[in-house]
Structure 1
């Protein structure tokens, strides 16, 4: 299952040359992951208030392939690459048209109220099966 999230590059996303500042690609993929989770029917605010559980990024491995510019329309593609007992690895791409500009492998875990790593929620597993 591949999720698509569209966004536009705003002036605030760029440096003085009008090129997207490198750290903002991480913001774009974060938005893509949040929308992907919501599209699976998982309410992250409810997870936190009801169970004290939150998704956190454990690891990101990213490759900058080509710059994005002020005014570009971008697409963030998110795909579940590996689902384990307590973590999932997501493959994410930021593209302009069909051209990949940034690619990342993102490892996500769920933390409980005391900061301990927990098994992935059953509703997430159901949504992904």
Structure 2
């Protein structure tokens, strides 16, 4: 299965005084890409939230490879690495012209939004990787 690709344009607000993307903004870029990926998988997060279930980032391993700058056109590729009943592990790579700038391994958990206890992933996300 090919990765989900989400386009990102670097705006002035994304950069620091040196004109490069501020490190925390890569987390925003990959969050937007994950939200778009979840939507593409058929999960309605508003309806899920109404049932008291939300996604929480449990762990992120981040690797900053090269800087992005103002007006760069980036892509965030999202791929499933692993799935269990209540969590999913994703690879997310931010590239410019196919050159990796940032890589992250992100572990998401489905949790009860009121008590923070684990919940089962929506059926749409429990499919085996590559299905």
Deviating more after overlay: 60-69 vs 79-88 = 79-88
How far the C-alpha of 1:120 sits from its partner, in A, is 1.4
Aligned to 1:114: 115
- Say whether the 8 Å CA contact 1:9–1:72 is kept in structure 2: yes
Gaps of at least 5 residues in structure 1 are none
Gaps of at least 5 residues in structure 2 are none
In structure 1, C-alpha distance between the alignment counterparts of 2:75 and 2:69, rounded to whole Å: 13
Deviating more after overlay: 54-63 vs 118-127 = 118-127
Aligned to 1:84: 84
Runs (4 or more) in structure 1 with deviation over 4 Å come to none
Aligned to 1:56: 56
- Say whether the 8 Å CA contact 1:8–1:74 is kept in structure 2: yes
How far the C-alpha of 1:115 sits from its partner, in A, is 1.4
- Say whether the 8 Å CA contact 1:40–1:127 is kept in structure 2: no
In structure 2, C-alpha distance between the alignment counterparts of 1:107 and 1:126, rounded to whole Å: 16
Instruction: State the TM-score, normalizing by the size of structure 1.
Output: 0.94
Instruction: State the TM-score, normalizing by the size of structure 2.
Output: 0.93
How far the C-alpha of 1:127 sits from its partner, in A, is 8.7
| SS of 1:80 mapped into structure 2 | strand
| SS of 2:116 mapped into structure 1 | coil
Once the two structures are superposed, the pairs formed by residues 1-129 of structure 1 within 5 Å of their partners are 1=1, 2-49=3-50, 51-112=51-112, 113-126=114-127, 129=131
In structure 1, C-alpha distance between the alignment counterparts of 2:127 and 2:86, rounded to whole Å: 15
In structure 1, C-alpha distance between the alignment counterparts of 2:55 and 2:86, rounded to whole Å: 11
- Say whether the 8 Å CA contact 2:86–2:119 is kept in structure 1: yes
